[in-house]
């Protein structure tokens, strides 16, 4: 019985070893750091069944564990936790999983952000963008940059009010390929910007350029995070600043000129297209009035002009030759004026009305006396008696509406 139990245990062990051997492990597990970001990657043979991967972050104990179907994993949030594991000796183990079977784990390179710890890979932080402000009057320049304790959210969540890190940074002056003494300063978590003043080069022909380096200390001042040194950062040349200002002034002047020209052009075009207002009629020259009046009369249709007709008095039985000639003349004038403007026609009508009244009166006077009638015999001319040779009848107003008839001679 004991032999059977031992045999079964050995068989189970062999099966488990065989099963584990059937799942190939990951290859080339490697951790890389880019600023505060931490990523682990690995390779795995192709033509394998669906495989999952277990990722374990460890220091002296297991810090973090999770699974993924990818061949990489972002460990940033696991490294930068409140336990300050970013300052520890860290390593990653990756295991392939196929169903209930798993491969042996494969370890990565060791890494940390603590510059004092011996590991395969040391991770560094980068400085934010550096700015240089030159104060010519004080013969100094201010080197400044945003506080990385605040700008890096990963670093910010690692400290508390009781344990605040401190950044100590150094500024080296670079000119003509040489580096002068370092200027350093501390930057606390309460500072929004880190800055330090440095002197300008004594030789004005040398351009001010700086390089930065620094270290982030924990609250105890023991563990340190190294900042990667920057490349040369140079102050802006005063000549280039003046050139930029001059160029800006020129561009503003050109823009103002273009706007002014556009406004003037728009006003001129509007003046050309807008009809000018006419002068009051009292201010129009007399020659223009005459031309306008003639044009207006000429355009009046003929049918609008009142036609004037001369009707002989019904009371006269006969008229003298002079009265006939005078009436014929009036008729000719009325016919000739038929084509003129309406105002001339109205004037002619009033004139002929008065003449007709006078003719009627004279005819009435002459009808009283038979000698006022002129008779023309055939072949001879009978002497004509003038209307003025006849007695004249006058109507006299006697007052109170009483009228009397009076007679008078030549």
Q: Are 143 and 171 in contact (CB under 8 A)?
A: yes
pLDDT the model gives residue 202:
81
pLDDT the model gives residue 270:
79
Residue 6 in domain = no
Residue 393 in domain = yes
Report CA dihedral (60, 66, 69, 72) to the nearest 10 degrees: -40
Say if strands 209-217 and 121-122 run parallel, antiparallel, or are unpaired: unpaired
pTM exceeding 0.75: no
pLDDT the model gives residue 269:
83
| Exposure class string for 280-305: b at 16+ Cβ within 10 A, else e | eeeeeeeeeeeeeeeeeeeeeeeeeb
pLDDT the model gives residue 391:
53
Q: Is there a single domain that holds both residue 381 and residue 311?
A: yes
pLDDT the model gives residue 182:
81
Q: Is there a single domain that holds both residue 91 and residue 165?
A: no
Q: Is there a single domain that holds both residue 181 and residue 104?
A: no
Alpha carbon 68 to chain centroid distance?
A: 50
Alpha carbon distance 303, 338 (integer Å): 10
pLDDT the model gives residue 296:
47
Q: Are 8 and 14 in contact (CB under 8 A)?
A: no
Residue 249 in domain = yes
Averages of pLDDT over each 10 residues, the chain, 410 residues: 59 55 89 95 91 94 92 95 85 94 95 94 95 88 93 83 83 76 88 92 84 88 88 76 67 88 86 62 52 48 46 43 47 46 52 52 44 40 47 60 57
Q: Is the dihedral of CA 263, 269, 273, 278 positive or negative?
A: positive
CA 244, 194, 162 angle in degrees (round to 5)? Answer: 155
Q: Is there a single domain that holds both residue 134 and residue 232?
A: yes
Q: Is there a single domain that holds both residue 319 and residue 255?
A: no
Which CATH number fits the domain that encloses residue 148? Answer: 2.60.40.10
Alpha carbon distance 59, 146 (integer Å): 32
Q: Is there a single domain that holds both residue 185 and residue 166?
A: yes
Residue 281 in domain = no
Residue 142 in domain = yes
Q: Where does residue 370 rank: exposed (0-12), middle (13-18), buried (19+ CB within 10 A)? A: exposed
Residue 399 in domain = yes
Q: Is there a single domain that holds both residue 22 and residue 114?
A: yes
Q: Which of 109, 194, 184, 125 is nearest to 158 (CA)?
A: 125
Q: Is there a single domain that holds both residue 129 and residue 226?
A: yes
Of 236, 267, 294, the residue that ends a domain is 236
Q: Is there a single domain that holds both residue 86 and residue 147?
A: no
Q: Is there a single domain that holds both residue 222 and residue 244?
A: no
pLDDT the model gives residue 402:
65
Residue 9 in domain = no
Q: Where does residue 331 rank: exposed (0-12), middle (13-18), buried (19+ CB within 10 A)? A: middle
Q: Is there a single domain that holds both residue 338 and residue 269?
A: no
Say if strands 106-107 and 392-399 run parallel, antiparallel, or are unpaired: unpaired
Give the count of domains, the chain. Answer: 4
Of 219, 236, 253, the residue that ends a domain is 236
Q: Are 340 and 349 in contact (CB under 8 A)?
A: no
Of 57, 88, 122, the residue that ends a domain is 122
Bridge partners of residue 142, in order along the sequence = 133, 197
pLDDT the model gives residue 130:
94
Residue 288 in domain = no
Name the DSSP class of 69.
Answer: S
Domain that holds residue 44: 16-122
Q: Is there a single domain that holds both residue 85 and residue 156?
A: no
């Amino acid at each position: 019985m004991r032999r059977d139990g031992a045999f079964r245990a050995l068989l189970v062990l062999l099966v488990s070893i065989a099963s584990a051997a059937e799942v190939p492990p990951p290859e080339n597990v490697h951790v890389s750091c880019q600023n505060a970001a931490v990523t682990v990657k690995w390779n795995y043979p192709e033509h394998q069944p669906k495989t999952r991967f277990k990722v374990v972050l460890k220091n002296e104990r297991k810090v973090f564990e999770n699974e993924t179907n990818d061949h990489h994993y972002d460990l940033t949030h696991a490294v930068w936790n409140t336990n300050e594991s970013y300052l520890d000796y860290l390593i990653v183990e990756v295991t392939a999983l196929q169903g209930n079977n798993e491969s042996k784990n494969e370890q990565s390179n060791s890494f940390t952000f603590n510059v004092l710890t011996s590991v395969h890979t040391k991770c560094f932080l980068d400085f934010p963008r550096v700015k240089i402000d030159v104060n010519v009057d004080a013969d100094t320049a201010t080197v400044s940059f945003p506080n990385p304790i605040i700008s890096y959210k990963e670093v910010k969540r690692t400290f508390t009010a009781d344990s605040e890190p401190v950044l100590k940074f150094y500024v080296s002056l670079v000119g003509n390929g040489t580096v002068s003494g370092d200027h350093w300063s501390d930057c606390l978590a309460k500072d929004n910007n880190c800055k330090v003043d440095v002197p300008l080069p004594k030789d004005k022909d040398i351009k001010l350029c700086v390089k930065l380096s620094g270290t982030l200390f924990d609250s105890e001042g023991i563990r340190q995070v190294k900042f990667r040194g920057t490349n040369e950062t140079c102050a802006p040349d005063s000549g280039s600043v003046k050139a930029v200002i001059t160029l800006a002034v020129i561009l503003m002047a050109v823009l103002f000129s273009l706007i002014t020209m556009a406004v003037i052009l728009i006003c001129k075009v509007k003046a050309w297209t807008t009809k000018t207002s006419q002068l009051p009629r009292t201010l129009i020259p007399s020659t223009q009035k005459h031309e306008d009046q003639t044009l207006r009369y000429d355009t009046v249709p003929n049918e609008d002009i009142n036609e004037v007709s001369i009707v002989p008095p019904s009371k006269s039985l006969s008229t003298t030759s002079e009265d006939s000639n005078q009436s014929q003349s009036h008729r000719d004038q009325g016919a000739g004026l038929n084509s003129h403007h309406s105002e001339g026609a109205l004037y002619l009508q009033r004139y002929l009305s008065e003449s007709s009244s006078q003719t009627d009166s004279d005819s009435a006077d002459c009808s009283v006396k038979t000698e006022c009638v002129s008779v023309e015999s055939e072949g001879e001319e009978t002497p004509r008696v003038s209307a003025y040779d006849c007695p004249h009848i006058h109507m006299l107003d006697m007052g109170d509406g009483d009228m009397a008839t009076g007679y008078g001679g030549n």
